[in-house]
Amino acid sequence: MIDVRRRILFPAIAVLFLALLSAPAARAEVTPGSGYSVASLAAADPAPYTWVSSVASYGSFIIYAGADKKIHAYNATTGATSLVCDTSALSDPFTAVAGFLVTPDGWLYFHANTFPTTTIYRLNLGLAWPTAFETLATGCQGSIYAFARNPWTGVVWFASSDFTTHKMYLYQISPAFNGAAAVGAGFDAPHGGGSGPLVFTTAGQVLYGESVWDGNGYFHLVDAGTGAIVTADYLTFTGGLVSAVPGGIGRIYAATGNGKTIYEIAGTSMTAVAAIPTFGSSAQGVCLSASGLFVAEQNAAGLTSFSSLVPLDDTRPITLAAAANPAPYTWNASIAFYNDVIIYAGVDRKIHAYEKTSGANALICDTSALSDPWSAVAGFMVTKSGWLYFHANTFPTTTIYRLNLAGATPAAYETLATGCQGSIYAICQNPWDETIWMASSDLGANTMYLYQVAADFSGVTLKASFAAPHGGGSGPIIFASAGTLLYGESVWAGNGYFHLVDTATGLVEPNVLTFTGGLAGAAYGRNLEIYATSGDGKTVYKVTGNNVDPVAVMPLGAQGIVYDGYYHWVSVMDGASGKVSLYRVGIPPAAVAAAVKALDSSGGCFIGSLGAASGGPSGLALLVLLGAACLLFARRRAS
C-alpha cells in the first residue's frame, strides 16, 4: 500500500523550498484567446494566501482567503477589501480555508483545507460583515475537495476522495445544514488520482473531476442518483484539472492547473479561451461574476493573481445553423433554449429539441392535437427550473400548457384553462422572484392584459389592463426590474413599442421604447441586458436605458430570440414563404470593465513571515537547493 505521507512529502518539500528561498516573482501573465480582452486591477490588502487560489464571486466581490487566513471580499470595481469572516483558527499552520462556493441566496460554503478534511462550514453573505460561520461535521469518507450546487434542485453537494483506497465519493448536504448523505458507495478513481471540481450538467448527472499528481485531469460523468460512473474520461485535460464553474446556460469553464489553460466546455467540445504561458505558473481557481470570468493563477512562488476574461463585441451573424429535422413549422418562429438545445415546433406540429452543436434532434412532446390545421404550438418559455410553458396559437388562445424538460422525454403536458380576456401571445418569467406571467390582447376591444400565473399552475390573476396605445396586438414581455415589466405592442406593417408596466399597481408608462419595423421577440443577455428583435425590421437591438441600439441585421424577418450563455440565436422568417431558419449571432456585452483582475499575493505562512525582500537567491541556486531536497527524499524512500 502506498504511504500517503510519502506522497504528500515530496510536493511539500518543493513548496517549502520555493516559499522560503525564492525572491518575489512577477505575477503570472494571462494571454486571452481569440475574442477576449484583458486588463488589470490594483492589489488587494491583505493579499491572497500563498498557494491557495480558491475563489468565488458575490455581486461585485471576489471572495478569497487572505494572508491572515481570514475570508475577505475584494470589490472588483473599487479595489476596496472587506473582512467577511475570521477563519484563522480553522486551518493548520500551513494553509487557509478553501473550496469556496456561493449559492444564489448568498450562502458561502467552504472547508478547512486540512488533511483529512471532513468538516464543512457556511456563512450568510447577506448579513453584516464580519459575520460568523456555521459548522457541520460530515463524517464523510476521505477528504473533501469541492462543492457544487444542483441548480435544478437547489441542493449543495460535495466530492471527497481517499488516497489510500483510491475511492471517490459523492455527498449531498441537507438544506438545513444538519447532515450529509452519501450517494452510492463510491467508485474507484479511474486513474488513481484525487477529487477535482464538481459541476452539474443536468438534474441527474454531474461531472466529477479527477486530478492526477503531475499528470492529466479528467471529468467523469456520474449518475447523481446512484453515485456510479456513467462515462469515465468524459473529458480529458492535459496537465491537470483544478477547478470549474457553470458559465451560463449550457457552458462550463475549467482551469487546468499546470496545463496553464482555461477552457470553455459545451457538451464534449472544449475551446481554449485563455492561456498562462509564464514558466512555472498555473491556472487555478475560476468563478463567474457579472463583470467577467475570474481566473486565479499562481506563479512559481505561489503568488496568486486574478484575471477576468471579457468577450470582445462581435455583432455579425456568424453562421446559419444546419437545417433541423423535422423543419420548423411554416410561419411559426417561436423558440426557447434549454440545456444546449433549442426548442421549436416542427412541421409535424410537435415540440422538438434541436441540439445546436451536433445538429441532432429529439422529440420533446406530441402536441399535434392542440392546434388547428393552420398552426402549431408557440409562445415557448423555459423557466430556471426546467419547465417549458407554451400556448396553442389558435384564435382565440386562452389555454396554456407546460411540461417538465428535466424529466424523461417525450413528456406529457399539463393544461390550464386561464379564462383570460383576449388571446394569449407571450409568456415570461420574472428572474428576480421566478414568478410566471402572460400577456393577452383583445383586438376588437383594443385592450391589452397582463396576468400572473399561479405557482402551482392552478389559475391566473389579472394584474394590469390598458388600451393599446397604437391599436396593435400583444408583443413579447420581459422584466426590466423586479417590479417593472416591458410589455410589447406590435402594429401590423408598422413599428413596435415597449410600454413599461408597474406589476404591483398595474400603472403603465406608454412608449418607453420604439422599434422601427415591428417588435417580435425579446431575451436577456449575459448580465440581464435586454435584446429584442424587430420582425420585418430585420434587426436585433440591445436595450440600454431608454435607447435601442442595433447590433445585428438579419437577411429576413428577425423573430424569436434566445440566449445560450454566450451567443444569441435568432429565428429568421421569410416573409414570402413563411420558411423559418436559425442564425447564431455573437452579441456579448461590450468589453467595458477591465479584463485582467489582479490581486498580487506577497504574504502567507512563509513569505509573509520573511517580508517582501528586494533580493534573493538566483534561479540556479533554487534549482540546486531543490535538487538536493529531492535527492535526500529519494535516498530516504529507498532506505
Quick one: pLDDT at residue 16? 40
Quick one: pLDDT at residue 94? 86
- Averaged confidence pLDDT in the chain: 81
- What is the phi/psi pair of residue 12, to 5°? -65, -40
Q: With a cut of 90, say whether residue 322 has pLDDT above it.
A: no
Helix (H) or strand (E) holding 82: strand 81-85
Quick one: pLDDT at residue 503? 94
User: Average pLDDT of 472-494?
Assistant: 92
Q: How far apart are CA 19 and CA 520, in angstroms?
A: 60
Confidence label for 275 from pLDDT (cuts 50, 70 and 90): confident
Choose between 22 and 550: higher pLDDT: 550
- Asked if 43 contacts 287 with a C-beta cutoff of 8 angstroms, the reply is no
Report the DSSP pairing between strands 580-585 and 317-320.
antiparallel
Among 51, 82, 488, 512, smallest CA distance to 303 is for 51
Q: What are the tens digits of pLDDT across the range 173-184? A: 999 999 999 999
Please tell me what DSSP assigns to residue 455: T
Which three cell numbers mark 543?
436595450
Query: Identity (one letter) of the amino acid at 368?
Result: S
Within a 10 A sphere around the Cβ of 78, how many other Cβ atoms?
10
Q: How far apart are CA 195 and CA 183, in angstroms?
A: 15
Report the DSSP pairing between strands 530-533 and 521-524.
antiparallel
Q: How far apart are CA 81 and CA 77, in angstroms?
A: 11
User: Average pLDDT of 585-598?
Assistant: 36
User: Average pLDDT of 285-308?
Assistant: 71
* C-alpha separations of 602 from 71, 89, 314 in Å: 17, 21, 38
Q: With a cut of 90, say whether residue 596 has pLDDT above it.
A: no
- Asked if 140 contacts 118 with a C-beta cutoff of 8 angstroms, the reply is yes
- The residues, any chain, with a CB within 8 Å of residue 448's CB and separated by 6 or more, are 422, 439, 440, 441, 465, 466, 467, 468, 474, 487, 489
User: Average pLDDT of 406-430?
Assistant: 95
Quick one: pLDDT at residue 617? 32
- Asked if 368 contacts 351 with a C-beta cutoff of 8 angstroms, the reply is no
Quick one: pLDDT at residue 599? 28
Residue 124: half-sphere exposure toward Cβ, Cα within 13 Å: 5
- The residues, any chain, with a CB within 8 Å of residue 91's CB and separated by 6 or more, are 69, 97, 112, 113, 114
Quick one: pLDDT at residue 634? 31
Collapse the DSSP code of 42 into the 3-class scheme (helix H, G, I; strand E, B; otherwise coil) and give the result: coil
Quick one: pLDDT at residue 397? 92
Q: What are the tens digits of pLDDT across the range 600-627? A: 222 222 112 212 222 233 333 333 333 4
Burial of 322 (0-12, 13-18, 19+ CB in 10 A): exposed
Q: How far apart are CA 235 and CA 604, in angstroms?
A: 34
**Model-level pTM?**
0.57
Quick one: pLDDT at residue 2? 33
Q: With a cut of 80, say whether residue 311 has pLDDT above it.
A: no
- Asked if 187 contacts 175 with a C-beta cutoff of 8 angstroms, the reply is no
Quick one: pLDDT at residue 292? 66
Q: What are the tens digits of pLDDT across the range 225-236? A: 999 999 999 999
Quick one: pLDDT at residue 639? 31
Helix (H) or strand (E) holding 18: helix 4-21
Counting other chains too, the contacts that 64-67 makes at CB distance below 8 Å and 24 or more residues apart are 64/100, 64/296, 64/304, 64/306, 64/599, 65/96, 65/97, 65/98, 66/96, 66/603, 67/601, 67/602, 67/603, 67/604, 67/608
Q: How far apart are CA 165 and CA 188, in angstroms?
A: 8
Q: With a cut of 90, say whether residue 591 has pLDDT above it.
A: no
Buried b (16+ CB within 10 A) or exposed e, 220-249: bbbebeebebeebebbebebbbbbbbbbbb
User: Average pLDDT of 209-234?
Assistant: 93
Within a 10 A sphere around the Cβ of 130, how many other Cβ atoms?
14
Q: How far apart are CA 100 and CA 120, in angstroms?
A: 11
* C-alpha separations of 73 from 33, 45, 103, 301, 575 in Å: 28, 10, 15, 23, 53
Dihedral sign, Cα of residue 184, residue 164, residue 112, residue 206: negative
Confidence label for 10 from pLDDT (cuts 50, 70 and 90): very low
Place of cell 509564464: 278
Quick one: pLDDT at residue 593? 24
Quick one: pLDDT at residue 456? 96
Choose between 325 and 616: higher pLDDT: 325
The percent of residues in the chain predicted with pLDDT above 90, rounded, is 49
Among 136, 45, 50, smallest CA distance to 98 is for 50
- The residues, any chain, with a CB within 8 Å of residue 429's CB and separated by 6 or more, are 381, 383, 384, 435, 436, 437
Neighbouring-strand partners of residue 582: 571
- Asked if 140 contacts 173 with a C-beta cutoff of 8 angstroms, the reply is no
Quick one: pLDDT at residue 19? 38
Confidence label for 423 from pLDDT (cuts 50, 70 and 90): very high
- Asked if 517 contacts 496 with a C-beta cutoff of 8 angstroms, the reply is yes
Q: What are the tens digits of pLDDT across the range 25-63? A: 455 566 766 666 665 666 778 988 888 888 999 988 989
Choose between 308 and 332: higher pLDDT: 332
- Asked if 276 contacts 260 with a C-beta cutoff of 8 angstroms, the reply is yes
- What is the phi/psi pair of residue 441, to 5°? -145, 150
Q: What are the tens digits of pLDDT across the range 111-120? A: 998 888 999 9
User: Average pLDDT of 395-414?
Assistant: 93
